[in-house]
Structure 1
Amino acid sequence: MTTYFVSRHPGALEWATEEGITVDEFVLHLDPVEIQPGDTVIGSLPVNLAAEVCARGAEFRHLSLDLPPELRGRELTAEQMRACGARLETFRIERVG
């Protein structure tokens, strides 16, 4: 079982490290073909990709933030992420149509 952290943001990787989140592979982009049952995928994924992760039997943990409008579209530091309530939330997502 592998834990992937998907992000292209240095602040997010720093946040995960500082929070003591155990990660096997930090990746910029996720190839869902590599995901196996029992894996964990952490990040902010498009809903269709998150659904594919779940369909493959992996756990999806969304990196959630309460981001004010003035910080949208900006690179955040680990400290700014903590100030915005950065947290991991587990979701089960499935395609229904």
Structure 2
Amino acid sequence: MSLYFVTRHPGARDWAAEEGLAVDRILDHLDPAIIQPGDILVGSLPVNLAATVCARGGRYLHLSLDLPPELRGLELSAGQMRDCGARVEEYQVRRIG
């Protein structure tokens, strides 16, 4: 089992380290082919990639924020992420049809 954190944002990397999120690998982008049953992936993936992670037997933990409109599209620091209620929430996603 591996724990992956997918992010290209330095503030998110800092936040994860400060929160004690012990990851095996930080990835800028996900190649879903690496996911094995039992792997855990943390990130903010598009729904189709989250569904692929789950279909491959992985667990998807979404990095959620309560982001106000004025911060959208900006690079956030770890502190700003905390101020926006950054948290990891598990989702099970599957494609229908």
CA–CA distance in 2 between the matches of 1:33 and 1:8? Answer: 19
Query: Which stretches in structure 2 are left out of the alignment for 5+ residues?
Result: none
1:66 counterpart residue number: 66
Moved over 4 A (4+): none
- RMSD value, Cα: 0.3
CA–CA distance in 1 between the matches of 2:52 and 2:64? Answer: 19
Query: Which stretches in structure 1 are left out of the alignment for 5+ residues?
Result: none
CA–CA distance in 2 between the matches of 1:95 and 1:22? Answer: 29
* % identical equivalent positions: 66
2:90 counterpart residue number: 90
Written as runs of structure 1 = structure 2, the 5 A alignment for 1:1-97 is 1-97=1-97
Q: TM-score, normalised by structure 1?
A: 0.99
Q: Could you tell me how far 1:84 is from its partner in structure 2?
A: 0.1
Aligned pair count reads: 97
CA–CA distance in 2 between the matches of 1:22 and 1:96? Answer: 33
Q: TM-score, normalised by structure 2?
A: 0.99
